[in-house]
Structure 1
Amino acid sequence: MEQDATITRKALGRAAFLGDLYDARKEEFCGLSLLKSELPATIISNMDVPSTRLEYDFSDTFEEKFNKLDVQAQLKINVLAGLFKLEGSGKYLGDEKKSYKSVKCTLIYDIRTKEETFTIGNEKLEKLISYDAIKMPDATHVVVGIKWGANVFASFEFENKENYQKKYIEGILQANMEKIALSIKGSGSVQFTEDENQLKTSLSIKFFGDIIPQDEELPQTFEKTLELMKKVPSYLTKFNNGKGKPLEYTLYPLKNVEKFFQLETRIKRTLIDLNLETITLLEKEFDDLLQAKQKFNDFYNEVNENSDFVASDNLGEIYKKSHQIKTCEAAFREQIATKLVEVRSGTKKPITIEKILTKFHEKPGFIMDISAFIEKYTKLITTIKQIAVFKENKIIYLGKRDASDVLPMQNNGDIYLFYMNEELKIRNNQLYEDSYHYFLDLVRDVEKKQSKFVIIDYNIHPEVKTKKEIKICYYRNGKLVADDLYKSKKESLSWCIAKSQLTSSTLRKPATTTKLSIPCAGIKLNYHCPREKKTWTCEKCQTSIEYGYDNTFYCSCGGAAAESYSFKCSSPLHPDEFLTFTKDDLERYLPNKDAENEVNILLLGETGVGKSTFINAFINYLTFSSLEEAAKEELRAGIFTKFIITDDNCMERTIKIGYDDNECTVEGQSSTQYAKAHVFHIDDLTLRIIDTPGIGDTRGIEMDKQNLQNTLSYISNYGHLNGICILLKPNNSRLNLEFRYCIKELLTNLHKKATDNIVFCFTNCRGTFYKPGDTLPALRTLLKDLEEQSGVSIPLQSNIFCFDNESFRFLAALKQGVQFNDDDKSDFSKSWTRSVKMTENMISYILKCPTHKIKETITLNESRSLIMELCKPIAEISQNIQLNIKLAQDRKKELAANELSINELEDKLYIPQVELVPVSLDYPRTVCTQPKCTKVVTSNGIAKVDYLTHCHPHCYLQGVPPNTIDHSALRKCDAMVNGICKICGCSWTTHMHITYENKQEIKYDIDDNVQKMIREKTSNYELIVALNNHCDRLIEELQYEQGVITKIAAKFAYFTRKNAIAVFNDDLENYLEHLIKEEEGKRSAGSQNSSIIDGLKTMKNSYKEQQRVFDQAIRNNREYEEVELSQIPQLVGQLYSLTHNGEQLKQIVEELKYGKCRAIKFKEEKHDIIPKRSNKKDNVIVAGIKHIWKTVY
């Protein structure tokens, strides 16, 4: 907008006179007067305007200063752009606070004296006008009025290096300003207290004024400042006859002068004012730039003062940035100044100014770049601040002037060197944080030893020869003890450790244990240890401590009473000592064996249905929140998996992931070789998924039966089952023999009350739209037939779940470089999501099922395991009874046929009796079962196998069930080389582990009456009669025990029939017949498989015989009452109390139980659920399990 009006402008130290010409476009005086001579006093109007203003102000920005001094809007921009030089009191506007932290207060002393003006319309003026001067093209205005007086500014700036609160400093400054103001106004004398003078050391005082004497030293204290300010009125009288100095000018447009005096100059005096919006925008930009510079100056000064601890490259970059900021600011002011004049002259549009702002926003060295640069070095400033803390703690932060390589050699005693730099700190932040806190722990722990602690930054010391990694080196007397102390101690740092002085290696760990999870003893002793439960590690063997539900803790060292342990958790609040619980406090935290915080789920299914993949997928479902997250992290595999995939080029690739000696890779054989539990801890909940060998193994039905019996033995070690998952494929459309056999073989081994816990899980369901597919009708028919036969109904509706765990295989292939397109990735992502949801639904269903508890119902594992354990010893004892009866009868015949003397009778007095004495081995022994490596020992018709070849007498291989031939883990026995035994030369497939052996021992039975008669030298005849009577009693007692054993075995058989879903798999005979026909068809084609056919026929006959014997036992039991769970221990007790055979029976059963427990105890694999650190929330399944668990229990 073009300006033709009279305007005013602050003098800002600029001196001019009435009639002087002014260029409003550049806001400067032209150095020429419009008048030929001085104005007569009669033309000038004088007015006295005396006034005094005394105040203080904490203004810091340009905007605040301009407003305080009432600087005109158009003049502001010229001041900011530096279009003219500020003089006198005007220099106050150019005094920028250098530090953002500093506090600044200004005392303003403003005195007004006179106003002088003249009027252009005065007739006398025309003769005084210089026509040459009015032709000056740069001039736009003439001075027609001046306001006189003086301004004095005293600026107090506190450096504030200590970073005090600004309000605190302002309060002290304000108190001093008020005292100075009161004293100047004549309100009496004041005194500055010591408290108010405490700022002296960091306080600088500047003076800006129009009448400040130049020959006097300017004051630097509050007292001296007060003295100077009181002299200002007297200084004023010395200038311009007491008028002082010009403070403001009134400027009249030359256009109007020309017009009034009718002068023709043809000079275009265009003056376009900037709009207020642009002025405000520019004012803010300069304020923002000022603040950015202040913050950079603080940063620069801090770095410069600590340059010895800053890398040379960083210093160079910071110095370069400082120069760049100054250059950029100068260029910005210059461009604004140039364009401002052009805009005011009308040659450029105002938008030009705004374009300059936009351009500079992107320039290096301007506002945004300065902020980003400071932000980039935030961590450097943090490090610099830490150095002061390090010094307080006697930690040396090695500067550039200190040599790093000779440091360890110059010190006797211990020295710890912490190597790092900012790049490594960012790249391995967790390692840095852990190492740093460990370093500080060392400082605290070894402070009394006068050790030295040094931090070395690789960027400050590039000459360091060691590998550039975060580490703590430990030297003692100049010699390197540990190159990476934290790494060597890393594992133990996070451990919570416990110890006992009473550990015994002879204590046997029970089959069922749980990881010890209790709080630290420190919570009871006011040491502020965290109250949450922790898992504990043995201080000596460094293995996890487990609890056997028997008030005993176990580890690799052995076991000891729980109350004998002391504890030290990893919390920094724990004192440097082990703490103990009282017995009562400890018992409060120990769990019960069948606690409700355990969920046991059994997986059953035919070979190849995908149990192993199910578990591998389940582990990853619990760990990752999505398929995308899992793809970025290391894949977790609890079970070895191998499969073949065809890539886009139709090339086959074999994918292998994981390792487990429980897995077999032979085609057709069950991948899982024996039962194994996979354990997951979710808060206080223990979730146990029990993997089992598949049914339908190509090694035959005997292997299926062995696998099932091993599974039953395995789960007998747990208190309850929550779920029994039968896994099925969704595409078995026909009710064929193999399908019927597999399903019924599973159900035959389940108790009928377990039906409430059975769920059917269909795998690989993506191809059947996540439905059961054609298998469901076949399964429904099979279960209906079973209900008609046994009266047991198995539900088949809400207990059906459909999965597709192929997303795990996708991840496995992806990790090994197989490429997938986006559509495939999307499909597998959806599959993952649906399977996760289905897994959550399945767990939810199982958690709501009644638990299958041993003490409340006749459970699968207890009933089957008990009968199985007694079957073999009852048979062996029965054989032994018959042998002993025969031996007694033979002796009786011998006595009857001879009349013996007393001496001869004494020789025959002792009746030989054979006992089976089980001898336990404290370790597994590897033996060969081949005929050449064994010997059958026959004694009185009783055959026993003696294993002659002890291929590995003391085998350390773990996890091999005893008395199991052809177990895959035996390939790793030390006796095997490339699958062949180096002791006997036989294949590993003919070997097995034994953990006890029965030894026959001969004892001699004697009658006390006979012994008495001998001592009394009774007649031969009487002795013979007595011996015969003893033999008769022995035979009678043995026959009685035989009858008891037979009756109890019959009761067990009846018990099984009553409680099993099905006693026998009635499809087994048909399935065997089917297999026999298949093999006979192969023989017709030339296959040499006669031995296979004979074996299948023998198995068929054996099956029929088993049915006959079982039915006969049931018939024998008709006269007995029904057997309930509570009676089972009583019946077992009757067997154990038998006079002649009870103890043998008990020892044999106990050894069988122990042999199984010892094999099982190595087969629980714990899986830690460790979500990503970025995930603050649990994933879907974990969150769901926690919610359902809290709701149900």
Structure 2
Amino acid sequence: MLSQSIQQTQDLLQLKIKRIAIDFDGRLGSLYDGCQDQLLGTLDINFEQSSIQFYHKTRCILEKGDKNHKRNLLELINIDEQLRLSLLLNLTSTNGIAEIINYPYIINEYTRILHYSYIHREEGFPDEIEKIRERLESCLTKTNATHIITSICWGIDIVIILQLPPEDNIVSMIDVILEKYRAYLNGDCNDFKLTRDDVNSYKHIINTTIYSNIPAITEMTTLHNIFHSICRLKTDDTQYQQLYYILCPISNSSYIHLDSIKNNHLEQYLYELSTSMKIIETCFNEDMPNLLCGHFKERFSNVYKQWLDIKNEYVNLIERLSKLVIEIRCGQNQTSILDKFLNHKAQIIFKNNISNLFQHVIDLNKKGHLISDLSRLNIQYCNVIERKVDKNDNEDTMKRKLIIDENTDRILCSNDLLNQNNPIQYKKLLNDLINELENNVRLRLIYADFSYCTYELRDMIILTSIKNDYKKNKSKYKEISSFIDNNNNNNSTSPLTRTSLPISSSSSKLSLTDSINILLLGEIGIGKSTFINALVNYLTYKTFDKAQTEKPIVAMPVSFRITTEDDLQEHNVKFDDVNKSSSENFQHPGHSVTQRCRSHIYRLHNSDETRLRFIDTPGFGDTRGIEQDNLNMQHIIEYIKNFKYLNAICILLKPNESRLNI
């Protein structure tokens, strides 16, 4: 009988488990509920003397983060898988280094984790198996305890999480410093020195977060202070706290731990959800409306409503899973129920919803920091969608929508992807703007964000004013005009030669000697371009019969519809290749076909000096609204400022109208 009892006790001792101390009230003989990982109380078991074994073991490791945001910090610091699951399910409190579960920031390639542990001693019950068995049976009555603490390890445990700046050269220097700390604390070297450059590099660390079983350590803010504290603590064993407990199962315990596969599957699911939820909450706690400076109000409101709904659903999920895990550990349910729960369609949808919300919140938070940083630099933020910039714009129309005051506006155009791929260029352009502001305090600096519009911005640019463009390109267009004139003088095959000169809003003033300048105005679709083609052919051919026998002259590409009398069918008539015209838009009915002002210059056949210039303009009444008409009118006014005079303004009207109906 005695030998059987001894064998049972030995079997129990072989099933002992190790738990990181997250509750520092544990003592030898304390009862422990393994189903929920909680201390319950202490048995009144007195031994003449507990056994003490000294270790003086030191271990210090340095881990680098990576782009995988799902890095499990609990696993990284060697917390037992069963306890990790209990922490994720909120079954037990988070104290000491277990508080790392609440780390609120993303772990990325610029994260560094320094884990230092020092084991001083281990205290335990003496190996008197028979006495332990007798005391357990005599003291235990009604209890939920599954284990009893039979050994306690004392020492120092510290985890330091550092967030470095996203600059590789600085990161490399800081890594050298961290390796010096690690090597010295791990006992790999006895000499520790920091150079002046080391100290300066260390100042670039963005954030330092500390977790420890020593409360005084967590109040420190720098790695250097912690380093000196560790050196002092190692000589004062009164400051040591519990590192971990050794738990021995009670004979009548029904505790069943989850097998590793099921445990890891559930842990991974919960850790991903928990990490996303913490980071989302951290972003909202940063007061995003203030960071966004009044921008994206509707988007923020929608995201915040989603967050409130998901947070409630998450709380309910944790409660249901906690109940299931406790039942399984107590032997009241099967582990297979976890697979059914996690594979249920509702849980998959919920996980996807959190993932989508996470990305939206992160993007919004990053945008808030961008806007806030720009504001501190006296740079206004502008979402170009609010200025109605889209894929139908060219560079000229885009400028007109963004530049309000040509004398003061300096606009940096970029988007999130360009900023991410070209951080050095982005900083340089920002510095260029800031330097300009220092030289001219009247400037208004603007960051134009193209992240959300359909306009394809291929590179970061600083917009210059339209007037500045005129000055920069003045000589260029004079050369073009001179080249055209020379070609016309050398062309003797036709009494009327024509050159179509597209001049953007950035053109300079042209040489206008002996020119007849005619400005054409009218509603969209009235036929200004067609009128020019008709007039050119009229001036070229003396008779209609002559015009019929020759190929018609197409001064500029046009497209229109006519209805034939015989079958009353509509036919699309095109002259020239409308697809090759960069200044015409034939694809959007209701939009002005002519997108920019163009000068069409012709040399009259009866004079070598006199030139006829038709100025074709965008039409009024654009279906894009009055704002587009205003932009077109502004463009026309800026364009005709290049001419010293106009000989005529020709307003084309429909036959049944006597005025512009706009």
Shift of 1:98: 2.3
1:65 to 69, 73, 93: 73
1:335 aligns to 2:344 (yes or no): no
| AA partner of residue 155 (structure 2) | A
Q: Structure 1 residue 7 and structure 2 residue 24: aligned?
A: no
2:563 is matched with: 640
Query: Secondary structure, in 3 states, of the residue corresponding to 2:238?
Result: coil
Which residue in 2 is equivalent to 1:650?
none
The residue type paired with residue 563 of structure 2 is: F
- 1:368 maps to which residue? 355
- Structure-2 residue corresponding to 1:252: 248
| Equivalence for 1:158 | 163
- CA shift, 1:54, in A, is 2.4
- Aligned residue type for 2:62: Y
The 1:79/1:203 distance shift into structure 2, 3 A limit, reads: same
Cα 1:430–1:218 shift into 2, 3 Å: same
Q: What is the CA-CA distance between 1:273 and the residue it aligns to?
A: 2.7
- The CA deviation string for residues 426-475 of structure 1, in whole angstroms up to 9 with x for no partner, is xx543497643445678778769998769899xxxxxxxxxxxx9xxxxx
Partner residue, 2:258: 274
How far apart are the structure 2 equivalents of 1:18 and 1:346? 27
Contact 2:75 2:81 in 1 (8 A): no
Matching of residue 310 in structure 1 with residue 295 in structure 2: yes
Secondary structure class of the residue paired with 1:362: helix
* 2:619 is aligned with 1:657: no
- Residue among 97, 101, 106 paired with 1:94: 101
1:227 corresponds to: 228
- The answer for the alignment partner of 2:61 in structure 1 is 55
Distance 1:352 1:72 in 2: 23
Deviation at 1:32, TM superposition (A): 3.8
* Distance in 2 separating the partners of 1:273 and 1:388: 51
Q: Do the aligned residues in 2 keep the contact of 1:640 with 1:659 (CA within 8 Å)?
A: no
Specify whether residues 639 and 386 from structure 1 end up closer, same or farther in structure 2 by C-alpha distance, changes over 3 A only: farther
Distance 2:503 2:394 in 1: 28
Task: Assess if the C-alpha contact under 8 Å between 1:140 and 1:254 holds in 2.
Answer: yes
Partner of 2:332: 347
The aligned residue for residue 208 of structure 1 is 211
Aligned to 1:238: 238
TM-aligned CA deviation for residue 277 of structure 1: 2.6
Equivalent position of 1:141 in the other structure: 147
**Structure 2: distance between partners of 1:305 and 1:198:** 32
Q: Superposed, which structure 2 residues align to 1:906-945 within 5 Å?
A: none
Work out whether residues 387 and 397 of structure 1, in 8 Å CA contact, stay in contact via their aligned partners in 2: no
For 1:788-867, list aligned pairs within 5 A: none
Distance 2:354 2:258 in 1: 23
| 1:1011-1050 map, 5 Å | none
Seq. identity, %: 14
Q: What CA distance in whole angstroms lies between the structure 2 residues aligned with 1:384 and 1:643?
A: 68
Matches of residues 396-795 of structure 1 in structure 2 within 5 Å?
396-397=380-381, 421=386, 428-431=390-393, 435-439=397-401, 499=481, 510=494, 639-641=562-564, 656-658=569-571, 678-680=575-577
Question: Per the alignment, in what secondary structure is the counterpart of residue 13 of structure 1?
Answer: coil
- SS of the equivalent of 2:150 reads strand
Cα distance per residue 1:1054-1113 (max 9 Å; x no partner): xxxxxxxxxxxxxxxxxxxxxxxxxxxxxxxxxxxxxxxxxxxxxxxxxxxxxxxxxxxx
Question: For the residues of structure 2 that align with 1:233 and 1:222, how far apart are their CA atoms?
Answer: 17
| 2:638 corresponding residue in structure 1 | none
Classify the secondary structure of the residue corresponding to 2:392: helix
65, 76, 97: which one aligns with 2:84: 76
The one-letter amino acid paired with 2:35 is R
Determine helix, strand or coil for the equivalent of 1:306: helix
Kept in 1: contact 2:157–2:243 (CA 8 A): no
Query: Match of 2:398, SS?
Result: helix
User: Aligned partners of 2:379 and 2:517: how far apart in 1?
Assistant: 31
> Partner amino acid for 1:98?
Y
Query: Residue type of the partner of 1:190?
Result: K
Classify 1:64/1:544 alpha carbon distance in 2 versus 1 (closer, same or farther; 3 Å): same
Alpha-carbon shift at residue 250 of structure 1 (Å): 2.8
For 1:227 and 1:200, how far apart are their aligned partners in 2? 17
1:9 to partner: Cα distance: 2.4
The C-alpha deviation readout for 1:513-569, integer Å capped at 9, x for no partner, is 89769999xxxxxxxxxxxxxxxxx99768999xxxxxxxx979999xxxxxxxxxx
Q: Deviation per CA, 1:609-665, whole angstroms, max 9, x where unpaired?
A: xxxxxxxxxx9xxxxxxxxxxxxxxxx765534687xxxxxxxxxx653588xxxxx
Structure 2 distance, partners of 1:173, 1:85, is: 35
Change (3 A) 1:302 1:220: same
CA distance in 1, matches of 2:370, 2:180: 37
Partners of 1:395 and 1:206 lie apart in 2 by 32
Question: What code does the residue aligned with 2:58 have?
Answer: T
- When residues 48 and 445 of structure 1 are mapped into structure 2, their CA distance, relative to the original with a 3 A threshold, is same
Of residues 117, 120, 127, the one that matches 1:113 is 120
CA contact (8 A) 1:102 1:157 kept: no
**2:633 matched residue in structure 1:** none
Aligned pair in 2 of structure 1 residues 111, 311: CA closer, same or farther (>3 Å)? Answer: closer
Structure 2 distance, partners of 1:90, 1:372, is: 27
2:301 partner SS: helix
Alpha-carbon contact 1:360-1:366 (below 8 Å) kept? no
Alpha carbons of 1:369 and 1:558: their partners in 2 closer, same or farther (altered >3 Å)?
same
1:128 aligns with 2:112: no
- Displacement, 1:151? 2.8
- The aligned residue for residue 511 of structure 2 is none
Structure 1, residues 256-309: CA drift from partner, whole Å, max 9, x if none? Answer: xx6xxxxxxxxxx43333232332223333443355357646865484443323
Compute the displacement of 1:202 (Å). Answer: 5.9
Q: 2:29 touches 2:149 (CA, 8 Å); kept in 1?
A: yes
Higher relative contact order at CA 8 Å, sep ≥6: structure 1 or structure 2?
Answer: 2
Quick one: distance in 2 between partners of 1:508 and 1:208?
Answer: 90
SS at match of 2:247: strand
Q: Give per-residue Cα distances to partners, 1:907-951, cap 9 Å, x unaligned.
A: xxxxxxxxxxxxxx99xxxxxxxxxxxxxxxxxxxxxxxxxxxxx
Partner SS, residue 363 of structure 1: helix
Alignment check: 8 A CA contact 2:31 2:145 kept: yes
Letter in 2 for 1:350: T
Shift of 1:371: 3.8
Q: Are residues 456 and 180 of structure 1, via their aligned partners in 2, closer, same or farther at CA, if it must alter by over 3 Å? A: closer
Could you say if the C-alpha distance between residues 453 and 519 of structure 1 is closer, same or farther in structure 2, counting changes exceeding 3 Å? Answer: closer
**1:191 aligns to what?**
194
Does structure 2 conserve the Cα–Cα contact (< 8 Å) formed by 1:541 and 1:557? no
Q: Deviations over 1:137-174 (max 9, x none)?
A: 4222233333x2323315243375xxx24x55543442
What TM-score, normalized to structure 1? 0.34
Q: 1:95 to 1:515 in 2, by over 3 A?
A: same
Separation of aligned partners in 2, 1:211 and 1:71: 17
**Pairs aligned (count):** 474
Report what 1:39 is aligned to.
Answer: 47
Aligned to 1:414: none
Evaluate the alpha carbon distance shift between residue 371 and residue 97 of structure 1 in structure 2; reply closer, same or farther with a 3 A threshold.
closer
Q: Tell me what 2:647 maps to.
A: none
Distance 1:292 1:337, change over 3 A: same
Secondary structure (helix, strand or coil) at the match of 1:336 reads helix
1:1141-1152 aligned within 5 A? none
Distance across 2 between alignment mates of 1:119 and 1:199? 48
Point out where structure 2 has 5 or more consecutive residues left out of the alignment. Answer: 1-10, 411-439, 449-454, 456-465, 471-476, 505-515, 521-527, 541-548, 552-556, 582-588, 590-604, 607-662
Contact 1:272 1:343 in 2 (8 A): yes
RMSD: 5.5
Deviation at 1:52, TM superposition (A): 1.3
Q: CA deviation at 1:81?
A: 1.4
Is the CA contact (8 Å cut-off) linking 2:29 and 2:45 kept in structure 1? no
Give the residue type in structure 2 aligned to 1:344.
R
For the residues of structure 1 that align with 2:309 and 2:179, how far apart are their CA atoms? 42
Provide closer, same or farther for how the CA distance between residues 209 and 17 of structure 1 changes in structure 2, counting only shifts above 3 A.
same
